[in-house]
Structure 1
């Protein structure tokens, strides 16, 4: 039987990886008039973009990341007019709480430091906070309140951008496992297990935890490892918790967070991460971590101690050694761009990552500072790299 080669598909840009970053980039590239092919191994938004906690927060971030985060918050508020869906975004606020004086001092310092970046936080004592948020537990001593942050549904966000990109004219190819990426004199060539062949002069790698091996095919490596954040959901109770509530503890096991959806269920996450396998695409859920999470969650909101957990899950996420993503143009390969490795705190950033990368690809520049996220930081002396440790609350 004869084998017929499929005619290659061509575009201005190929985006590999159909998570929130890739889908948003594809959509915004179309607003710049560029033709784009979005390739996703499974379904758009099926991996980490669809299994995370759903936090849309700015506070607690690495300060130079706030311009990107602020841009994203603006886009989150305009989703219905941009893509025709709201992804259940609720701007009901975000509070970070502490039980120790030293953690409270860090919250107060951060509130001072972030103000020049346009983020205004309100610091409250535990008693002041309980007057405004009566569900907060009696052990809480300091609270940082960001009134315009909130949460959204991660199962909806990336698919919504994918549909919007397709409506705008992008070629979105799902169930398309990339097997090889190369570049000839002028074009990138992407080959897929389904026999597809895709060609473009520009390429963005947005492969999440799998982005490292794609970058290595161009001689650029990232100290990044796959891990499995741990999430769960409780049975419903009457809706009463509007803001996202997260711990600002310096103790890993105590860094938990929760949000309540309008249906009444409480979604939670945090604590230790499990292991993940890039080959099997499996994330290991640790039942002991769920047991450790529960008393910490009850310290935030005592009512949680009376609820049954009805489901737990995880996802495969990529964590870079310095807890910052890889974002921007390749320092060595013309036409190559990166947007991966968001270390469990990329959901809120996703829309602005797409807008910023599309702007960079289409025009060659962007007003959003990307220097801390450059690929070249891994080949420079550590003393010249960004001094950063990003908060690990997603």
Structure 2
């Protein structure tokens, strides 16, 4: 069975001749950017090669968290959480958001020490996040066999439904005047006088003054096709997930316990995945950006499983350039739907059942996988592109995009509109990969 069922969004029939801004990509980042721009009175067209939210935006765990975030992301996460809390009312639709709390177990003294140090980054912020003792955890989950020495508990954190959120935001953006164009791949951009002037899609040209690329795992290919020498180091990391049928007795809070992570779903079932196991296919881009990703490999080698296979040949065959009057690679792959690792997903399920015996009779309903758009420092690029005025990038969320999405859209819109940014965008600038900045992995994928 392919990826999860996503609430359908029907695309507009007519292609606008001209707008203020074109957003490329219909995931959580793209639709959030579109809504922010539309609410600000901009004429916006969103171009999605497949369906709204059909790739990683519907395949992730559904966590909305500040817990264990990279310190550089914390201001953006706090803004995102504020937006999530009002998103149902803002869109007039159900995103499944609920503040239920998230827990990260600490079985080792080194993990406990890391979490205690991480908590200092919340100083000055009003966040209900603290360390639990082993006894407090046992009291919270008396029917669990998990007995960590300590745990990080962020009661303010929450969860939402990945299959509902992006469609809800997209539909609200349309109500605000945005054009929502599905099965409408953007082939490239055109410039006039050195500045962005149009996007060429498979259905025709849309004149515009600005473009926001929110293409997820496809973003590096798009930027590399432009004749601008843009350095965007990005690789794909595959995470496999399963969901159960509705089942009583599991944990209410989302829990990360190393060999598994679990989140209660709105339908009463659970989303379960390995807390550590991610597959990285060796592809041509692996060699292109090998030097960029050295810090990530050093820090995350235990959780990144390198694999050689047919994916190398598939990507090697893809063209680096194409004429804008001919089909692009984006039109030959409407949805990235990788085959899940049954072994990793089932091992996570077995660990979850061992930790929570009440899940022993829970039935697996579906397995799927998705590609995380990873950067070397595991924080996103939300930035203008100096080499192409009017061109902006919002990508590389490294597995954090769903929870951050609404605030990332706000920040991207701020940059396009040249208004005061909701958070300082310095850490998310594209130029950090080429200006001599130290690239550090402070959190993880």
* TM superposition score normalised by structure 2: 0.80
- 1:187·1:201 contact (CA, 8 Å) conserved in 2? yes
Note the 1:112-151 alignment, pairs <5 A. Answer: 112-151=120-159
Which is worse superposed, 123-132 or 20-29? 123-132
**Which of 195, 215, 225 matches 2:223?**
215
2:251 corresponds to which residue?
241
Q: Distance in 1 between matches of 2:220 and 2:27?
A: 15
Q: Which moved more, 1:298-307 or 1:100-109?
A: 298-307
- Answer yes or no: is 1:356 the counterpart of 2:396: no
Deviates further, 94-103 or 163-172: 94-103
- CA shift for structure 1 position 135: 4.4
Give the CA deviation at 1:233: 1.3
Alignment of 1:151-230 (within 5 A): 151-185=159-193, 186-193=195-202, 195-216=203-224, 217=226, 218-230=228-240
What residue number does 1:272 align with?
277
Task: Tell me, yes or no, if structure 1 residue 388 matches structure 2 residue 398.
Answer: no
> Shift of residue 44 of structure 1?
1.1
Could you tell which deviates more after superposition, 39-48 or 115-124? 115-124
SS, match of residue 211 in structure 2: strand
Query: 3-state DSSP class of the match of 2:120?
Result: helix
1:333 aligns with 2:388: yes
Aligned residues of 1:326 and 1:373 also touching (Cα < 8 A): yes
Q: In the alignment, is the contact (CA less than 8 A) between 2:127 and 2:156 conserved in 1?
A: no
Corresponding residue of 1:263: 267
CA distance in 2, matches of 1:188, 1:323: 32
Task: Tell me the TM-score normalised to structure 1 length.
Answer: 0.89
1:106-149 CA distance string (max 9 Å, x none):
11221223223443412111211221233443432211111111
Q: Deviations over 1:305-350 (max 9, x none)?
A: 4534232101222111221111121132211111111111111101
Worse overlay, 100-109 or 115-124: 115-124
- Listed as ranges, the gaps of 5+ residues in structure 1 are 1-5
Distance 1:322 1:198, change over 3 A: same
Does the residue aligned with 1:316 lie in a helix, a strand or coil?
Answer: strand
Q: Please give the alpha-carbon distance, in whole angstroms, between the structure 1 residues aligned to 2:172 and 2:141.
A: 37
Task: Provide the C-alpha distance between the structure 2 equivalents of 1:157 and 1:205, rounded to a whole number of angstroms.
Answer: 20
Task: Please tell me whether the aligned partners of residues 122 and 146 of structure 1 are also in contact (alpha carbons under 8 angstroms).
Answer: yes
Q: 1: distance between equivalents of 2:41 and 2:266?
A: 38
Q: How many residues align?
A: 378
Q: Aligned-residue CA RMSD in angstroms?
A: 2.1
| 1:52 Cα offset (Å) | 1.1
Structure-2 separation of matches of 1:55 and 1:7:
35
- Please name the residue that 1:103 is paired with: 111
Change (3 A) 1:118 1:221: farther
Listed as ranges, the gaps of 5+ residues in structure 2 are 1-13, 282-310, 316-328
